[in-house]
Copies of this chain bind each other. A is one copy, B any other.
């Protein structure tokens, strides 16, 4: 089987990640902050250690600014619902995923906020931003990389420009978190959401919201926090107040371990992925009737294409029969499809990671050639 759907989830994790998950589950198995016996205290220490590693990975000084959620979608919802006040205005890139678009549209439908989708040229020319800033613009939300085209959307220039207007910079790093494309401290990013199971190579079930500085927003979920059980609402204790309910500690421990793996291997991972992506695109772009979208943008190891005259879902089915896994249709990012004009056709997305090979790419290229020759 050839797996080119890494933007959905990285299917194969480093062996140390599986081991870390199983170690926590079988050998520790308790919840942090839920007792004072030895194993419960050890759980709390491991939670702190995980926060520390993740803070360091994103270059955040204080580990208590790392909030664990079940995935990036929850983290993004926590941020928007918790941070935005009545009559706020939000700017978003045209490449935002539904995890960003839908909470904002819901807040808009409820008469709480308004938002503006920036046109693509603003992404690459930050001086144009001023034309979209309103007196009540509170947040700019930028995906680190597009889940559709793979292009890198966040830039420190854009963040810097937004800062001039006192706008809070929020980055959705669901795509690209593992590539060290953003330095929260250097780039003055205020908040960043991440998910564990994609290019951070953790098991599913853990993500988070991190803040450059300590922050106080409304929790998304109210409930047991282990500490201050006597308080009638989540206590004024952070980050615990944002993490009501039992944490998925084995997954958090897998994330701590996967981040150590990435830190150790980042150069090899990135150079392999860049090499494979360049090779793939150069081969695919030589096939006639193939359109690759936003070909010349700086990107992560993801891109989308279509074969003229064939529906994206038919391309996916054809490839699936050859045991090649890619995704077609609409990729949970309707604004991105509007931007690259593929709302009607959908698009075939290819997303690689460092475990893919040249041989797999060659097999894919042959399959697409075979398909185009049938037209």
Contacts and interface: CB of A to CB of B under 8 A. Distances in A.
Interface in A320-338: 320, 323-334, 337
Nearest to A224: B332
Contacts of A195: 246
Nearest to A21: B25
Contacts of A5: 30, 34-35, 37, 40
A106 to B, nearest CB: 5
Given A12-B29, A249-B204, A220 B222 contact: no
Copies in the complex: 2
B40 A223 contact: no
With a 10 A CB-CB cut-off, give which of A26, A71, A195 has the most chain B CB atoms: A71
A101 interface: yes
Q: Is the interface of A mostly helix, strand, loop or mixed?
A: loop
A368 to B, nearest CB: 15
Contacts of A230: 330, 334, 337, 343
A43 B179 CA distance: 28
A106 B320 contact: no
Contact of A229 (B232, B326, B329): B329
Contacts of A231: 102, 334
Nearest to A246: B71
A225 B332 contact: yes
Chain A contact patch, size range: 35 or more
Contacts of A94: none
Given A22-B18, A40-B325, A204-B250, A73 B244 contact: yes
Nearest to A207: B245
A251 interface: yes
Contacts of A239: none
B205 A70 contact: yes
Contacts of A40: 5, 325, 327
B1 A29 contact: no
A106 B234 CA distance: 9
Contact of A35 (B37, B327, B334): B327
A44 interface: no
B222 A70 contact: no
Contacts of A37: 5, 316, 319-320, 324-327
A86 interface: no
Contact of A205 (B72, B98, B251): B251
A334 B105 contact: no
Contacts of A74: 70, 221, 245
A359 interface: no
Given A18-B22, A30-B9, A73 B232 contact: no
A67 to B, nearest CB: 13
8 contacts: A18-B26, A37-B319, A70-B74, A76-B223, A77-B222, A102-B244, A106-B222, A230-B337
